[in-house]
C-alpha cells in the first residue's frame, strides 16, 4: 500500500477542513444497526430477543460497533475542530449534544428494566449512570446500570474532557509521530487485553476493557487520521474491498476456536478491538476521501443521512425496545424467520428514533445553543 505525503505545511494550514462529510453520517447508522443486530440475536441460541441461525454467530461481531463509534468520534472531533475554540465552549456544546437525550432515554429504562422487568436496582449505580461515570466503578449493579448502552457515553465523556488538551498537542507533532503513537496505543490495548484475560476473572477483565482510558487508543487513532488526511495524507483505499476483507476476518474470528490452535484463537480474541479499530479508520478515511473527491455514493443519500442523524437516538432506545418485546412476548424458538422480526423491530426503533430526534434531541440542542455565551 502506497501513501502520498505533501510537503509539511504551517500549523494554520495543517488543520483539517471542517466541511461536512455525509458518508460518515451514514456510517454511524450502520454501526448502530450492527450493535442492535448483536443485541437482538444474542450471544448464543438461548439469548437475545429472537435467535436467527442465518445471522448467528456472525452477528456477534456487531458488539464491536461501539469501537467504530470511538474511532469515528476522534476523527470527527479533530476534523471539525476550529483552532482557538475555548475548552469551556467545547464542553458546553458536547453537553448540549448528548445529555438531554441520554436523560430522556433513561426514563423508559427505569420502567422496562427495573419496575416491570425486575432487574436488580442499586441507587448509587443508577446515579453513576445518570452522570455517566458508571464505567469507572467495577461493582455497579447491574453490570450496565440505568440505560445499559449508555456505558459508551461514559467513555465518550472522558474523550471529550481530554480533547481540548490533546488536540493542541497533536497539532505540534509530525504526522509520522502521531501515527507511531497511535500504533503504540493499539499494541498496548492488545497487550492489556491479553494480560487481563490471563490474570483476572472474566467479569473483572471485561470491566478493565470497558474502562475509558483503555479505549483511548481507538479515539486517538481516529483523531490522528483526521489530522493526517487534513495535512495531505492519501490512502488508496476502496470501501468495497475493505468490507470484503472485514467479512473474511469476521468468519475467521467467530470460528477461531474450531479452526485454529488454542494459542492462535486466544490471540484473535485479545486483538479484536485493535484490529476492528484499524478496519474502522480505514473505512472512514476511504469514505471521506471519496466524498471529498466528489464521488458521493449511497452512504450520502438522503435516507442514509437522515438515519445517521437519528442514530444516536436509535442506539439509546434499541435495547429498551428489545427488552420490552422480550418481557411481553418471550423468546421464540430459533428460526431464520426471526430475520423478518429483526427488520420489523428495527423499523419500530427507527420510528421512535425519528420522534426522539425531532421532539427531544434537536429542540434541546437548539435551546442549549441559544444560551451559550457569545
Choice between 166 and 82, residue whose per-residue pLDDT is larger: 166
Is residue 175 a contact partner of residue 227, using CB atoms and an 8 Å limit?
A: yes
How many other CB atoms are found less than 10 A from the CB of residue 139? 11
d(C-alpha 222, C-alpha 278), whole Å: 9
Lowest model confidence (mean pLDDT) among 106-120, 176-190, 339-353: 106-120
Output 115 or 316, whichever has higher pLDDT: 316
Cα(266)–Cα(20) distance, integer angstroms: 40
CA 296 to each of CA 17, 31, 157, 275, 337: distance values in angstroms, whole numbers, following the listed order: 18, 19, 32, 27, 34
Mean pLDDT computed over 310-320: 97
DSSP per-residue codes, 331-359: PPPP-TTHHHHHHHHHHHHHHHHHHHIII
Residue 7 in this model has a pLDDT that exceeds 70: no
Specify whether the CB–CB gap between 141 and 121 falls below 8 A. yes
User: Which triple of cell numbers denotes residue 242?
Assistant: 475493505
Whether 287 and 27 have beta carbons less than 8 Å apart is answered as yes
Q: Cell 493542541, residue?
A: 168
Surface-to-core class of residue 294, CB atoms within 10 Å of its CB (0-12 exposed, 13-18 middle, 19+ buried): exposed
pLDDT tens figures, 62-106: 999 999 999 999 999 999 888 888 888 899 999 999 999 999 999
4 pairs with which residues across the strands?
234
Q: Tell me the three state secondary structure of residue 122.
A: coil
Report yes or no: 123 and 142 within 8 Å, Cβ to Cβ. Answer: no
- Mean local confidence (pLDDT), 46-61: 89
Phi, psi dihedrals of residue 318, rounded to the nearest 5°: -65, -40
- Region at 206 (left for phi over 0; alpha for psi -120 to 50; beta for the rest): alpha
How far apart, in whole angstroms, are the C-alpha atoms of residue 308 and residue 40? 20
Per-residue confidence band for 45, with pLDDT thresholds at 50, 70 and 90: confident
Query: Using CA atoms, how far apart are residues 15 and 314, in angstroms rounded to an integer?
Result: 32
The residue behind cell 475548552 is: 87
Weakest mean pLDDT among 94-103, 114-123, 196-205, 270-279: 114-123
**pLDDT confidence tier of residue 47, bands split at 50, 70 and 90:** confident
When pLDDT is cut at 50, 70 and 90, the band that residue 207 belongs to is: very high
Please write down the long-range contacts of 211-214, taking CB distance under 8 Å and 24 or more positions apart: 211/135, 211/136, 212/135, 212/136, 212/154, 212/155, 212/157, 212/158, 212/159, 213/158, 214/189
Burial (Cβ within 10 Å: 0-12, 13-18, ≥19) of residue 220:
buried
Cell, residue 211: 474502562
**Strand partners for 282:** none
pLDDT at residue 374 in the model = 63
Residue 11 three-state SS? helix
The C-alpha R_g of the chain, in whole angstroms, comes to 21
Name the burial class of residue 32, with classes exposed (0-12), middle (13-18) and buried (19+) by CB atoms within 10 angstroms of its CB. Answer: buried
Task: Write out pLDDT tens, residues 135-158.
Answer: 999 999 999 999 999 999 999 999
C-alpha cell at 360: 427531544
- Reported as a single tens digit per residue, the pLDDT across 271-312 is 999 999 999 999 999 999 999 888 888 999 999 999 999 999
With 0-12 / 13-18 / 19 or more C-beta atoms within 10 angstroms meaning exposed / middle / buried, residue 164 is middle
Q: What is the largest CA-CA distance in the chain?
A: 62
On the question of pLDDT at 50 being above 80, the answer is yes
Residue 4 scores a pLDDT above 70: no
Amino acid at each position: 500500500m502506497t501513501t502520498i505525503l505533501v510537503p509539511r505545511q504551517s500549523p494554520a494550514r495543517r488543520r483539517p477542513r471542517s466541511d461536512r462529510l455525509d458518508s460518515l453520517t451514514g456510517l454511524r447508522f450502520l454501526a448502530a444497526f450492527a450493535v442492535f443486530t448483536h443485541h437482538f440475536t444474542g450471544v448464543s441460541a438461548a439469548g437475545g430477543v429472537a435467535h436467527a441461525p442465518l445471522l448467528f454467530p456472525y452477528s456477534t461481531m456487531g458488539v464491536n460497533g461501539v469501537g467504530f463509534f470511538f474511532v469515528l468520534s476522534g476523527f470527527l472531533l479533530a476534523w471539525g475542530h476550529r483552532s482557538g475554540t475555548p475548552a469551556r465552549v467545547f464542553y458546553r456544546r458536547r453537553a448540549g449534544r448528548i445529555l438531554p437525550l441520554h436523560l430522556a432515554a433513561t426514563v423508559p429504562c427505569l420502567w422496562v428494566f427495573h419496575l416491570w422487568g425486575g432487574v436488580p436496582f442499586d441507587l448509587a449505580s443508577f446515579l453513576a449512570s445518570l452522570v455517566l461515570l458508571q464505567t469507572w466503578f467495577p461493582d455497579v449493579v447491574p453490570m450496565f446500570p440505568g440505560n445499559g448502552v449508555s456505558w459508551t457515553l461514559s467513555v465518550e465523556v472522558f474523550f471529550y474532557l481530554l480533547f481540548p488538551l490533546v488536540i493542541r498537542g497533536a497539532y505540534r507533532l509530525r504526522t509520522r509521530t502521531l501515527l507511531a503513537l497511535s500504533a503504540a496505543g493499539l499494541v498496548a490495548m492488545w497487550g492489556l487485553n491479553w494480560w487481563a484475560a490471563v490474570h483476572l476473572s472474566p467479569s473483572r477483565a471485561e470491566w478493565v476493557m470497558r474502562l475509558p482510558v483503555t479505549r483511548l487508543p481507538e479515539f486517538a487513532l481516529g483523531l490522528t487520521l483526521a489530522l493526517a488526511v487534513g495535512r495531505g495524507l492519501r490512502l488508496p483505499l476502496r470501501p468495497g474491498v475493505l468490507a470484503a476483507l472485514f467479512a473474511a476476518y469476521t468468519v475467521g474470528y467467530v470460528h477461531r476456536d474450531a479452526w485454529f490452535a488454542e494459542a492462535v484463537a486466544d490471540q484473535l480474541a485479545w486483538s479484536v478491538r485493535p484490529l476492528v479499530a484499524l478496519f474502522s479508520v480505514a473505512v472512514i478515511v476511504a469514505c471521506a476521501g471519496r466524498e471529498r473527491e466528489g464521488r458521493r455514493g449511497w452512504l450520502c443519500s438522503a435516507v442514509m443521512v437522515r438515519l445517521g442523524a437519528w442514530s444516536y437516538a436509535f442506539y439509546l432506545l434499541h435495547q429498551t425496545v428489545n427488552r420490552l418485546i422480550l418481557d411481553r412476548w418471550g423468546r421464540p424458538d430459533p428460526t431464520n424467520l426471526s430475520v423478518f422480526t429483526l427488520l420489523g423491530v428495527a423499523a419500530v426503533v427507527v420510528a421512535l428514533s425519528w420522534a426522539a430526534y425531532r421532539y427531544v434531541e434537536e429542540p434541546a440542542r437548539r435551546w442549549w445553543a441559544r444560551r451559550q455565551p457569545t
